[in-house]
Amino acid sequence: MSSLDFRGWRLQNLEMALEFTTSCLKDSVDLLRFYKRLADRAMAQATDQALFATIDKESNSIAIIVKHLAGNMRSRWTDFLTSDGEKSDRDRDSEFESPPKARDELLELWESGWEITFDALAPLTDADLSRTVTIRGEAHSVMQTIHRQVAHYSYHVGQIVYLAKHFAGQDWNALTIPRRKSAEYNTKVATGKASQR
C-alpha cells in the first residue's frame, strides 16, 4: 500500500466528514484534525485574557494546556519510528509553568506541535500500524501509540473548549450541535447536508 498524503488534505465543508473509511490510520488523522479544529474555533472565541485565565489555583489555563500539548507532540512525534516517544530533553513539568505571554506566540507554539504531528503521520501506511515504537521504554504498536495520542489530545481539547466557553459566557457560539437544535441537526444529517464529524 502506498503512503497516504494528508498534508494537502482539506475538507470541502468543515462540518462534514471527508469520506467513509475503513482505514484506522486515516480515521485517526481525520479525528486529530477534527479535534484541532474544535480547539482552534474555541480559542478564536477566547479573549486574550481568557487564554491565560484559570478558574482556580489548581486549574490550568488554555495557554498552559496548549504549552503541554505542544511539548507532548514534539516529544511523541519527532523521529517517531526511530526514537523513544519521551525525549530525553523534554521537561514535562515545565510545560505546566510560564506559558507564552501573547496570543500570537501561543498560537505559533500550537501550530508547531500540530505540524510535527501531521508530518510524522503523513508518510505512514496502514501496514505501519503493527510496527513497534516505545514511550518511556515501554513497547507500543504504532496503532496503540496513535490511539493513545488521539485520546490524550481530545481530553485536553475538551478542557480548552470548556474553558473558552466558560469565559465567553453568553457570547459563546456553539462548536457542535447548539442547544435545542438536535432535531434540526438530525434532519441535516439524514439529508446529507451535515455529518456527525
- CATH number (domain holding residue 64): 1.20.120.450
49 alpha carbon, distance to own chain's centre? 22
- 196 within domain boundaries: no
Specify the pLDDT at position 1: 40
Kindly state the cell numbers that stand for 130: 503493527
pTM: 0.87
Query: What's the rounded Cα separation, in Å, for the pair 71 and 73?
Result: 5
* Domain around 81: 24-190
- 31 within domain boundaries: yes
pLDDT digits (tens, 9 = 90+) for 34-75: 999 999 999 999 999 999 999 999 999 999 999 999 999 999
Specify the pLDDT at position 180: 92
- 5 within domain boundaries: no
Weakly modelled stretches of the chain, pLDDT under 50 = 1-16, 18
Specify the pLDDT at position 12: 40
Q: What angle do CA 59, 60, 64 make, to 5 degrees?
A: 170
Query: What's the rounded Cα separation, in Å, for the pair 197 and 176?
Result: 9
- 76 within domain boundaries: yes
Query: What's the rounded Cα separation, in Å, for the pair 54 and 173?
Result: 21
Specify the pLDDT at position 19: 66
Specify the pLDDT at position 8: 46
Specify the pLDDT at position 13: 44
- 14 within domain boundaries: no
- 195 within domain boundaries: no
